[in-house]
Amino acid sequence: MTSGTAKAKNLPNPYRLVENQFAVGVKLLGQVLILWFQTVSYMVRGQINLKETVRQAYMIGVLSFVVVGITALFTGFAMSLQISRELVQFGADTAIGGVVSLALVREIGPITAGVIVAGRVGSSVAAELTTMMITEQIDALKVMRVDPVKFLVVPRYTAALVMIPTLSVYAMFIGLVAGIVIAQGAANVPPDTFMDSVKQTILDRDFSVHFLKSIINATLIIMFSCAIGLNTRGGAEDVGIATTRTIVWTMISIFILNFVVTSVTYAPR
């Protein structure tokens, strides 16, 4: 009886757990907002290390091209196959191009690039900055009167603002190619018919939504990874914890804000 009571006391309180996670989330959001304002202030004043920005652009963008391309290709295959089969049943095979392209431009392109970069780059940035904090390299920068935000965050954010929208467009293009291939093979829709449907469906505002989501994703990935990395203390175990927190919070934020932007920018055609 006593043993059972002791075990019950050791069980986590669900209300306390929710309360703690909420407090952690509010604190992290505050850190992200402060870091974002500091970063933007440096960028507005033109205090950007171009050499480091180019290096980060290579790390963020160029090294992500293959994995983003493969993911976008097979996502486009699966989505186009499902859409093609459904529309053919209703005799609307000529609309396949428009439906596929709309999904790619407004949703799949930004989400694919955002999720892949969050997993590959966000985790890497968080681990790198956390390690620098633990090994007191950040403190050394401060002693030398070098602002860690200016030295570490500004180049990464500047590079991400260029490369993540580029990766989103790339993912959209790869998915469109996959859609053309599937439409031709599964629904016998010629590429010309597919592209005519695309031209009739896609509007300029769809591309505006695409780039808005890409910029938001770039901001979330870099700000969350850098904020978590620069505010983590402890030992080697905390590097893994910071990496996991970065991926979880970044991906949750990407999907939530993707829905918010979609809801706000939706308009009947």
* Residue 155 falls inside a structural domain: yes
**pLDDT, tens digit, 9 for 90 and up, residues 17-63:** 666 766 777 888 899 999 999 999 999 999 999 999 999 999 999 99
* Residue 9 falls inside a structural domain: no
Range of the domain at 140: 28-260
pTM over 0.75: yes
* Residue 209 falls inside a structural domain: yes
- For residue 1, what pLDDT band results from cuts at 50, 70 and 90? very low
Alpha-carbon dihedral 123, 126, 131, 134, rounded to 10 degrees: -140
| Inter-residue long-range contacts of 200-203, CB under 8 Å, 24+ positions, other chains counted | 200/98, 201/95, 201/97, 201/98, 201/99, 201/101, 201/102, 201/269, 202/98, 202/101, 202/102, 202/105, 203/269
Answer yes or no: are the C-beta atoms of 187 and 93 closer than 8 Å.
yes
Whole-angstrom distance, CA of residue 227 vs CA of residue 245? 11
* Residue 32 falls inside a structural domain: yes
pLDDT for residue 95 = 86
Per the structure, the count of domains in the chain is: 1
Alpha-helical (H) ranges within the chain are: 2-10, 14-44, 50-60, 65-89, 96-103, 109-117, 123-134, 137-143, 148, 154-186, 191-201, 204-230, 236-265
Between residues 222 and 142, the one the model is more confident about: 222
**pLDDT, tens digit, 9 for 90 and up, residues 173-199:** 999 999 999 988 888 888 998 899 899
